[in-house]
Amino acid sequence: MRKFFALSLTLVLLASLVLTGCGGKKKEQSEVQKIIEQAQSMSLEELARKAIEESNGKQFYGVGNSSRGKSALPLFIAYLQTIDPNYNMTFEWQQPKNNKIFDQLTSDGLKTTGTFAMTLIQDGNQIESKMVKTGVLDTFIPKEWAEANNIKASEYKGYLALQTLNKVFMFNNTGSKTFTNCWDFVLPGEHGLFMDIDSEIVGKNFLYMLTAPKYAANLKAAFDVLPEAKKSQLQSTVDGLENDAKDLGLDANGKYALAWIKLWVESYNAQVDDGPICNTLVDRSATDQFGLLVYSKLRSVTESETVSKNNITVAAYQDGYQGMGGYGYCHYLFVTDNSPLPWTACAFIAYMTCTVDGFSAWGKDMGGYSSNPTVALGTEAKYQHSVNQGDKGYDWWVGQGKLVLEDPEYCSSVAFTVGSWIEMLTKYTGK
């Protein structure tokens, strides 16, 4: 096993060196990329006028992991109609299931002019490797979004996130059991409810991110403050993975990350969706059960004699809780490189990321945090999630809540090494 991982890591490093040394001429800009370059220096209103000129009377096709794009488009059209009352555009928003969005975009990308104008997509790892490096999708950074984040659109190197979503640890509190440390969730006999990592790949990215130095260090810090009785149940697993961590090129705390991953993968109770997990946990009968699920699912709980949000505790909200409170991943916005309506796509993206109304399809509910600080403040002022629903907000979650944030570049860099190691675990657990 050790030889396999050592060889794998060597091959990855060699491939990286070969690719780095290839050099070559800079790829010529596509027509859509040329439009994006112009669009990044324009205001939302200027983009809106371009969109009106381009798409009036036409059909707009979008595709995304979130169904709410379908709710945002009518708001966008209404905004354009404030500039030109005669403007009209029909639209269709598709939401492929079972991670088929990558195949759909890849296939559409083979056309000279595609069907889809833009996409709202998750899973930073596959976006990096399958969509951006292959030239299927292009990043557009709206001028006002960049200004709100105190950067220049032309100099920003990341992807444009519409929002960060968080999946957090919650437990049913109708019994006597408590979970005050993230290692409590992987103690012997515990079986957390979790959407299977092959059903929703961002869950696998979460596990990849735990091996990054920052998050591995957080896991070690949480481990160090465990009571000795609990620590003794886990120590042999941690120590037994020291060599694997070295073979995978991880730092000194890598063994803690691998231990948590191993114990979690071997113990979690695989579920097909976060909705049923939430429905289970808020029921009074789910005594002592816990899960890792999308925080926003709490918005849809209907109170009854046996079902209540009061029956669950958000683990990280407890005084003295130690370690990660969950993980965060983004919905990213891209223009397709063969977009049939690139100006309209840019205007729609700017509208969603630069206005409270544009983000409202997501922002009206808790647990989705705009990447634009101005829109985030406006959304909180309008909907008051912190007051009405107890949501402590993005800054709290990434700070005190120690949310593990997805980094597409890091996920892509370890997808083969750490990913192969996790695949071995799932093979033997049947997951």
Is residue 8 assigned to a domain? no
Smallest Cα–Cα separation from 334: which of 129, 145, 162? Answer: 162
Q: Is the pLDDT of residue 22 over 50?
A: no
pLDDT bin (cut points 50, 70, 90) of residue 244 is: very high
- The predicted-structure confidence for 212-226, as pLDDT tens digits, reads as follows 999 999 999 999 999
List of long-range contacts for 295-304, beta carbons under 8 Å, 24+ apart: 295/165, 295/166, 295/167, 295/168, 295/326, 295/366, 295/367, 295/391, 296/165, 296/365, 296/366, 296/367, 296/368, 297/367, 298/366, 298/367, 298/389, 299/365, 299/366, 299/367, 299/389, 300/275
Residue 196 scores a pLDDT above 70: yes
Instruction: Give the domain range for residue 229.
Output: 166-326+407-429
Same domain, 130 and 215: no
pLDDT band at 65 (very low <50, low <70, confident <90, very high): very high
Average pLDDT over residues 222-243: 98
Reported as a pLDDT band with limits 50, 70 and 90, residue 428 is low
Q: Are residues 252 and 300 in the same domain?
A: yes
pLDDT given for residue 97 in this prediction: 83
Do 196 and 243 fall within a single domain?
yes
Contact 410, 212 (CB under 8 A): yes
Taking only the tens place, the pLDDT of each residue in 104-130 is 999 999 999 999 999 999 999 999 999
For residues 269 and 341, state if they share a domain: no
Q: What is the mean pLDDT of residues 385-412?
A: 93
Backbone φ and ψ for 172, nearest 5 degrees, come out as: -75, 125
Q: How far apart are CA 412 and CA 298, in angstroms?
A: 31
pLDDT of residue 431: 63
Place of tokens 């977009």: 339
Whether residues 287 and 179 fall in one domain: yes
Q: Which pLDDT band holds residue 200 (cuts at 50, 70, 90)?
A: confident
User: What CATH number should be reported for the domain holding residue 279?
Assistant: 3.40.190
Q: What are phi and psi of 259, to 5 degrees?
A: -65, -45
Dihedral class, residue 29 (left if φ above 0, else alpha if ψ from -120 to 50, else beta): beta
Contacting residues for 243 by C-beta, under 8 A, at least 6 apart? 2
Is the domain of 278 the same as that of 207?
yes
The whole-number pLDDT of residue 300 equals: 86
Q: What is the CATH number of the domain that holds 376?
A: 3.40.190.10
**Mean pLDDT, the chain, integer:** 92
Residue 101 in contact with residue 125, Cβ under 8 Å?
A: no
Distance CA 237, CA 11 (A): 28
Inter-CA distances, 21 with 16, 17, 18, 24, 394, Å: 9, 6, 5, 9, 40
**pLDDT value for 388:** 83
Q: Are 316 and 169 in contact (CB under 8 A)?
A: yes
Buried b (16+ CB within 10 A) or exposed e, 376-410: bebbbeebebeeebebbebeebbeebbbbbbbbeb
Sign of CA dihedral 103, 109, 113, 114: positive
Within this chain, do residues 322 and 345 fall inside the same structural domain, yes or no? no
pLDDT, mean of residues 374-390:
93
Torsion angle defined by CA atoms of residues 223, 225, 228 and 234, in that order, rounded to the nearest 10 degrees: -10
Q: Do residues 280 and 422 share a domain?
A: yes
Instruction: For residue 369, list its beta bridge partners.
Output: 164
Q: Which helix (H) or strand (E) holds 202?
A: helix 202-210
Within this chain, do residues 190 and 320 fall inside the same structural domain, yes or no?
yes
149-181: pLDDT as tens digits = 999 999 998 999 999 999 999 999 999 999 999
- β-pairing, 193-195 vs 290-294, is parallel
118 and 231 fall within a common domain? no
Q: In this predicted model, what pLDDT tens digit does every residue of 392-403 receive, in sequence order? A: 999 999 999 999
Q: Are strands 404-405 and 326-336 parallel, antiparallel or unpaired?
A: parallel
Q: Which amino acid is at 46?
A: E
Confidence of residue 144 (pLDDT cuts 50, 70, 90): very high
The tokens describing 38, both together, are 């112009």
3-state secondary structure of 85: coil
Residue 19 lies in a domain: no
Whether residues 138 and 258 fall in one domain: no
